[in-house]
Structure 1
């Protein structure tokens, strides 16, 4: 076979370099890509926009980082945190146009829920900042955790509560928790109130930070895979007003996330 010298496509080479660097780092912002590859930021911006348009990467709202698309990976049996974050991002951006308070999406872990995406950088109101990504929130003391806990199946809920329950018995705390979760299931959303006495993470913060939150679960099939919240300052608005004005938008965002997750897997939410 006769070997021929064929010129490579320089722009394509650069694009592949950018994609490889993002994949190697599991996410990178524009400045990090500039330092790593030595390409002008204007050039990099055109490349990441193109890669995003074709579904190879996406940009996280929480910190502006570009990440490999989870949708290109072979599907697994369970919904991954990366899938939830990527699908949630667009819905959180749209929610920021409707609600003047920040929101976050969190996924379940063994004894907490973990923030995977937030629109907080898009909403600079009274310096409320949610996140960053990776922050752990209490199942017991945050609306975000309670929304998931109220929606999950009894076996899963029992396993979570075994990790959170104090060593010494507390029948009053048990009754309060049962009533609280029953109320969440009846009305379809969770609040920070009423406070609960078990000293889990966020126990002090919810009493001192002057914030209030409401949250709803993201339900895929019959099972929750995440929860999404709205957080506001107590001194700026009362709970009843925020619920009346914004619960519908929050529920639509949760339903949209579930629908898109199902569609990405070829199913129905």
Structure 2
């Protein structure tokens, strides 16, 4: 039996009305039941059911002062973060494309979450050495053991760094256990800052939790922070194969173009008219 064409599939009226109410609240800021009834034409009894459902899901809340309904801060913040990250990817994508044309090795754009870095973009498909499959989008990268994570945590603002480290210290994931070692963390931060870029932990083979003896992708990576003043919206990472390039030779060849690319992304983001709102790490 052939699937029914999308245009012939019936829409869900209740969902459509709920989305309409949510969109109106997002654009208006706060509205009373009477306001929503006037704007949508939806019966008040139906509106109350929609509003109750949206509130239970955390999308909206109700003020006491006038009983008006308003979109939740978390929803607005999520939408804002998605906008900022979309802007970051839009700016970074052509820079990553030019970078891989120059160095031939693949690279990744990653952004911070509270417990890890997350891949937002990669030029791996365009790299000459395309046997290195990076990503996929949404891939979680270890914060303290990866090059990307080290580049970020050594460069970000101190209050944010401490919030991340405290979360990692409470984590029960094997890959985060070294966060509980103050000496290890201090060494990672000192080495990364002295270098000006992040390198993988010697025992990190690409797997979030397992060491190189159990999981080794045969690669090395370096990470460079994208800096907007004191704010770091993300990092740029370059990955290569250990059997082709030694770490020392790779640093010599790849750090300068990686830094230039990160600086170019930052320049584009800081142009007049481009929002410089922070990308805040989300719990994950």
TM-score where L is the length of structure 2:
0.61
SS of the residue 1:141 aligns to: coil
Indicate the residue corresponding to 2:149 in structure 1: 145
SS of the residue 1:225 aligns to: strand
User: 2:152 touches 2:234 (CA, 8 Å); kept in 1?
Assistant: yes
Indicate the residue corresponding to 1:189 in structure 2: 197
How far off is 1:124 after superposition? 4.4
Deviations along 1:78-129, whole A, 9 cap, x unmatched?
A: 9721111111001000001111210000011121111111100001426101
Indicate the residue corresponding to 2:106 in structure 1: 102
How far off is 1:148 after superposition? 0.4
Indicate the residue corresponding to 2:184 in structure 1: 176
Query: What pairs up with 1:108-187 in 2 under 5 angstroms?
Result: 108-125=112-129, 127-165=131-169, 173-187=181-195
Deviations along 1:26-60, whole A, 9 cap, x unmatched?
A: xxxxxxxxxxxxxxxxxxxxxxxxxxxxxxxxxxx
Partners of 2:209 and 2:94 in 1: CA distance: 31
Indicate the residue corresponding to 1:231 in structure 2: 239
User: 2:144 touches 2:179 (CA, 8 Å); kept in 1?
Assistant: no
How far off is 1:267 after superposition? 7.8
Deviations along 1:113-172, whole A, 9 cap, x unmatched?
A: 111111000014261011111111110121011110110111111110111115799798
Deviations along 1:201-238, whole A, 9 cap, x unmatched?
A: 61326551111100110001211110001001111111
User: 1:144 touches 1:190 (CA, 8 Å); kept in 2?
Assistant: yes
- Taking a change above 3 Å as real, the CA distance of residues 201 and 159 of structure 1, as seen in their structure-2 partners, is farther
| Structure 1: gaps of 5 or more residues | 1-74
Q: Which 4+ residue blocks in structure 1 deviate beyond 4 angstroms?
A: 75-79, 166-172
Indicate the residue corresponding to 1:214 in structure 2: 222
**TM-align CA RMSD:** 2.8
The match for 1:202 among 200, 208, 217 is: 208
Partners of 1:116 and 1:171 in 2: CA distance: 25
TM-score where L is the length of structure 1:
0.64
SS of the residue 1:86 aligns to: helix
